[in-house]
């Protein structure tokens, strides 16, 4: 097991480790209101995420976490700066690179399942939209139910599942088309602490099993540190990278790691940094 260390690298660029899976360079975002004030949401964000890396993104409410995630996903364009996926620009002028479409799996705070579809149909919906035949969809949904621990619930409806199970179904849906990148915006925010611990272990297992690169937004510092290779802390108005902290414990981790002095030191340091933002 490695030792925890703090890396205050300003840009978050990995030195000479080959092509980044995801990269933003000097990204700035201003939301322009039709009338009245505009919001400067992000300023000079540069971050490079290596293939298979797990990044947690933390910061005060309104500091721009969701905005950055949406920019990484190509859902919105930055006002200036570059966004690269697998070394390719995500934007050609105002047009998004169509090849990037299948790269990202998105999971939001609310599982967002369709209530009138079974779990299996919810999970396989992205495949249906891509014209995949029914047999292949069934097989993939069954495999993913196994991966996220929902075997036996394929025919159930979302209302028949607990909140944690619904989030697992949402993760399975995001994984259905084998994305190389999972972008997750507070996916476990609504869950109780015990379920959340279990989901963190599950997510860690899934990320290791699929080798996916993950960017994970959370308000929980402990959760952020438990899951991440690096924790990126944003400071608000406009959102800037305040610090990048490398968590030096090998992954996968057991929950016990949270009682290690090195782990607690990283959590405390990040809490102090957050408090300084007030
Ligand atoms: N579509 C939008 N139009 C205008 N302003 C927006 C829009 N989306 C976000 N903002 C503003 O940009 C800033 C950053 O918002 P964002 O949602 O990225 O923050 P956040 O860190 O995700 O917050 P939270 O932790 O509460 O989810 C806020 O000031 C917000 O009001
Ligand atoms: Mg948000």
Q: Is residue 66 part of a domain?
A: yes
Q: Whose CA is nearest to atom 12 of ligand 1?
A: 41
pLDDT at 18: 67
Do the bridges between strand 80-85 and strand 88-89 make them parallel or antiparallel, or are there none, so unpaired?
antiparallel
pLDDT at 8: 39
H helices within the chain, ranges in order?
Answer: 65-73, 119-129, 134-147, 163-175, 193-210, 221-227, 261-276
Q: Is residue 200 part of a domain?
A: yes
Quote the distance between the C-alpha of residue 163 and its chain's center: 19
Do the Cβ atoms of 31 and 79 come closer than 8 Å? no
Distance from Cα 183 to the centre of ligand 2, integer Å: 12
Distance from Cα 234 to the centre of ligand 1, integer Å: 13
pLDDT at 85: 92
Ligand 1 binding site (Cβ under 6 Å of any ligand atom): 31, 39, 41, 59, 61-67
- As given in the structure block, the two tokens for residue 277 are 């933002």
Tell me whether residue 82 is exposed, middle or buried, using C-beta atoms within 10 angstroms of its C-beta: 0 to 12, 13 to 18, 19 or more: middle
pLDDT at 10: 40
Q: Is residue 56 part of a domain?
A: yes
Domain that holds residue 187: 22-112+179-276
CB neighbour burial string for 6-30, b if at least 16 within 10 angstroms, e if fewer: beeeeebebeeeeebbbbbbebbbe
Give pTM, 2 decimals: 0.90
Q: Is residue 251 part of a domain?
A: yes
CB neighbour burial string for 115-145, b if at least 16 within 10 angstroms, e if fewer: eeebbbbbbbbbbeeeeeeeeebeebbbebb
Q: Is residue 140 part of a domain?
A: no
Query: What does the pLDDT profile of the chain (278 residues) look like in tens digits?
Result: 344 444 433 444 444 456 899 999 999 999 998 877 899 999 999 999 999 999 999 999 999 999 999 999 999 999 999 999 988 899 988 888 887 777 899 998 888 999 999 999 999 999 999 899 999 999 999 999 998 889 999 999 999 999 999 999 999 999 898 889 999 999 998 888 888 898 899 899 989 988 999 999 999 999 999 999 999 999 999 999 999 999 999 999 999 999 999 999 999 999 999 998 76
Distance from Cα 263 to the centre of ligand 1, integer Å: 30
pLDDT at 5: 42
Q: Is residue 252 part of a domain?
A: yes
Do the Cβ atoms of 192 and 114 come closer than 8 Å? no
Best mutation site among 24, 67, 234 for ligand 1 pocket (most ligand atoms within 8 Å of CB)? 67
pLDDT at 93: 83
Which residues contact residue 134 at a Cβ distance below 8 angstroms, ignoring those fewer than 6 apart? none
pLDDT at 227: 97
Read off the CATH number of the domain in which 73 is found: 3.40.50.300
How far is residue 144 from each of residues 87, 96, 116, 191, 257, measured CA to CA in Å? 29, 29, 20, 21, 28
Q: Is residue 60 part of a domain?
A: yes
Q: Whose CA is nearest to atom 18 of ligand 1?
A: 64
Q: Whose CA is nearest to atom 25 of ligand 1?
A: 61
Q: Is residue 195 part of a domain?
A: yes
Distance from Cα 253 to the centre of ligand 2, integer Å: 26
Number of domains in the chain: 1
């Amino acid at each position: 097991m490695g030792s925890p260390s703090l890396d205050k690298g300003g840009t978050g660029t990995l030195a000479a480790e080959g092509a980044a899976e995801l990269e933003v360079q000097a990204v700035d975002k201003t939301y322009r209101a039709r009338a009245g004030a505009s919001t400067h949401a992000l300023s000079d964000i540069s971050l490079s995420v290596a293939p298979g890396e797990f990044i947690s993104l933390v910061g005060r409410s309104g500091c721009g976490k969701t905005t950055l995630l949406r920019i990484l996903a190509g859902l919105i364009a930055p006002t200036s700066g570059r966004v690269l996926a697998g070394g390719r620009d995500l934007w050609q002028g105002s047009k998004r690179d169509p090849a990037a479409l299948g790269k990202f799996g998105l999971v939001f705070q609310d599982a967002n399942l369709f209530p009138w579809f079974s779990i299996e149909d919810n999970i396989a919906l992205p495949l249906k939209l891509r014209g995949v035949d029914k047999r292949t969809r069934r097989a993939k949904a069954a495999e993913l139910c196994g991966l996220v621990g929902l075997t036996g619930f394929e025919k159930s409806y979302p209302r028949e599942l607990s909140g944690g199970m619904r989030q697992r179904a949402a993760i399975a849906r995001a994984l259905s088309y084998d994305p190389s990148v999972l972008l997750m915006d507070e996916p476990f925010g609504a869950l109780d602490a015990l379920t959340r611990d279990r989901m963190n272990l599950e997510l860690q297992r899934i990320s290791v099993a699929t080798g996916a690169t993950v960017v994970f937004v959370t308000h929980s510092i402990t959760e952020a540190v438990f899951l991440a290779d690096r924790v990126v802390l944003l400071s608000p108005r406009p959102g800037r990278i305040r610090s990048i902290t490398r968590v030096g414990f090998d992954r996968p981790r057991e929950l016990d790691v949270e009682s290690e002095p090195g782990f607690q030191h990283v959590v405390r340091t990040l809490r102090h940094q957050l408090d300084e933002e007030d």
